[in-house]
């Protein structure tokens, strides 16, 4: 069969890498892909958001399955367009993807169906939002309604920061139309965790838990990023915690959508807070996480294509999904200036040495081919060096050993991924 993967980052490289291991797959395309993905898929020079062009390509090449990585095309309705034209696609519909595309939609769904979450109010008037913030007090959380490239959430510990966030979103329009409405909610206290599952709208199959690191620098200092590393398993997320999350949050979300005429097919990624009063839902994403995918997918023992097809065809209950007991750790190597900016066109050295190590995979996130054919940087997050081992400690040691082989001018990475975590 032929498979098209939409996207061009580390998450998509991990998906292509795993799909390539399936005996069912004869040919893999990736749009737009990157220099690393080119080693196991044919690159298609189309943007992940060019839905009509992607659909025309899939029809022309008789693609059997399209797997969508990023959230933007899902929110824009790529799954609906493909399905309407007889193309099989892995990813939720436009209506289902509103869980990520609109925080207001998501929070209101929680409220209607009594899914535990932080108390909140929605505003489109800056004066009313500011009045509520002053009355509620700090700490408080301000969220832009729509997609804001991971920067639309402000956890304010003082009144000035909270009011500035309201002004930025509703008055200055820092996030454009994504900030036409804001969610102002209580600041929950506890342990933040996430749970990702496959679901066909009826059956739910949890993935192995993973934890990522958002801050740019060690000790969780510096600005927020798209993710500087990850590890799996997560000792904090025991089987009991995962089962509780499915029973109290994930299953109710899937059932709530179905009761409103929306069947969710794809990956549901629930952000949770473990508080003194139990688990509460923070947010929902509608796709594979990044860089969590780079540690979850290597632990999948089953054929990923079987799982994807079963999800698309509403028969996920028929598939046995196995996971390896081994641990995985991913260290992200980023460009100088990231996340504020990124130097591009910088030659990358040592990839062969790192990739030749046993139990190591180097996933490309932001790379391309230079004019001389050499691999160069082409984004903020350049590579995700993933290693696995019999324990988190062993996987961590191997990941950093592999990362030490890679060099490019301005390379930065965190030194504390999975440090001090016991499995």
Domain-wise residue ranges, the chain? 2-91, 125-180, 191-318, 327-403
pLDDT at 151 over 80: no
DSSP assignment letter at 313: T
| Arithmetic mean of pLDDT, 295-303 | 97
| Arithmetic mean of pLDDT, 229-257 | 94
Burial tier of 177 (Cβ tally within 10 Å: 0-12, 13-18, 19+): exposed
Report d(CA 133, CA 142) in Å as an integer.
9
Report d(CA 88, CA 66) in Å as an integer.
6
What percentage of the chain's residues is helix, strand, coil (to nearest 5)?
Answer: 35, 25, 40
pLDDT at 422 over 80: no
Give the model's pLDDT for residue 230: 96
Task: Give the pLDDT band of residue 224 (cuts 50, 70, 90).
Answer: confident
Give the model's pLDDT for residue 236: 85
Q: What percent of the chain has pLDDT over 90?
A: 93
Q: Which CATH superfamily, name and number, covers 125-180?
A: ATP-grasp fold, A domain (3.30.1490.20)
Q: Which CATH superfamily, name and number, covers 191-318?
A: ATP-grasp fold, B domain (3.30.470.20)
> Which is more confidently placed, 193 or 70?
70
Give the model's pLDDT for residue 192: 86
Question: What average pLDDT does the chain have?
Answer: 96
**Topology classification of domain 327-403:** 3.90.600
Encode pLDDT of 342-398 as tens digits: 999 999 999 999 999 999 999 999 999 999 999 999 999 999 999 999 999 999 999
CATH number for the domain running over 2-91: 3.40.50.20
Give the model's pLDDT for residue 223: 87
pLDDT at 148 over 90: no
DSSP assignment letter at 394: H
Task: Give the pLDDT band of residue 40 (cuts 50, 70, 90).
Answer: very high
> Which is more confidently placed, 413 or 194?
413
């Amino acid at each position: 069969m032929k498979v098209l993967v939409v996207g061009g980052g580390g998450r998509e490289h991990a998906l292509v890498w795993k799909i390539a291991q399936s005996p069912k797959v004869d040919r893999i395309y990736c749009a737009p892909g990157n220099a690393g993905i080119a080693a196991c898929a044919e690159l298609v020079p189309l943007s992940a958001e060019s839905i009509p062009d992607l659909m025309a390509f899939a029809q022309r090449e008789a693609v059997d399955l399209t797997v969508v990585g990023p959230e933007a095309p899902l929110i824009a309705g790529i799954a609906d367009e493909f399905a309407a034209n007889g193309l099989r696609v892995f990813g939720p519909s436009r209506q289902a993807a509103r869980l990520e595309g609109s925080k207001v939609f998501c929070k209101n769904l929680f409220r209607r169906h009594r899914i535990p979450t932080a108390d909140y109010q929605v505003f489109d008037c800056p004066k009313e939002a500011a009045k509520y913030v002053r009355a509620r007090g700090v700490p408080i959380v301000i969220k832009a309604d729509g997609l804001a490239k991971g920067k639309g959430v402000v956890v304010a510990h003082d009144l000035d920061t909270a009011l500035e966030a309201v002004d930025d979103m509703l008055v200055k329009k820092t996030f454009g139309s994504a900030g036409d409405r804001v969610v102002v909610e209580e600041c929950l206290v506890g342990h933040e965790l996430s749970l990702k599952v496959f679901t066909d709208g009826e059956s739910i199959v949890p993935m192995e838990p993973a934890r990522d690191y958002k801050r740019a620098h060690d000790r969780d200092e510096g600005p927020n990023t798209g993710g500087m590393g990850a590890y799996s398993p997560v000792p904090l997320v025991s089987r009991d915690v995962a089962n509780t999350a499915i029973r109290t949050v994930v299953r109710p979300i899937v059932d709530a959508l179905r009761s409103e005429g929306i069947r969710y097919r794809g990956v549901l990624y629930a952000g949770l807070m473990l508080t003194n009063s139990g688990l509460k839902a923070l947010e929902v994403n509608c796709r594979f996480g990044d860089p969590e995918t780079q540690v979850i997918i290597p632990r999948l023992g089953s054929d990923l294509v079987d799982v994807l097809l079963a999800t698309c065809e509403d028969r996920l209950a028929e598939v046995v999904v196995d996971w390896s007991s081994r641990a995985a750790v991913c260290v992200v190597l980023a460009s100088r200036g990231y996340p504020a900016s990124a130097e591009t066109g910088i030659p990358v050295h040592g990839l062969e040495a790192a990739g030749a190590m046993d139990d190591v995979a180097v996933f490309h996130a932001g790379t391309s081919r230079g004019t001389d054919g050499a691999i160069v940087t082409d984004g903020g997050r350049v590579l995700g060096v993933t290693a696995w081992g019999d324990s988190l400690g062993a996987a961590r040691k191997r990941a950093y050993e592999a990362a030490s082989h890679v060099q490019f001018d301005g390379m930065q990475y965190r030194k504390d991924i999975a440090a001090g975590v016991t499995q």
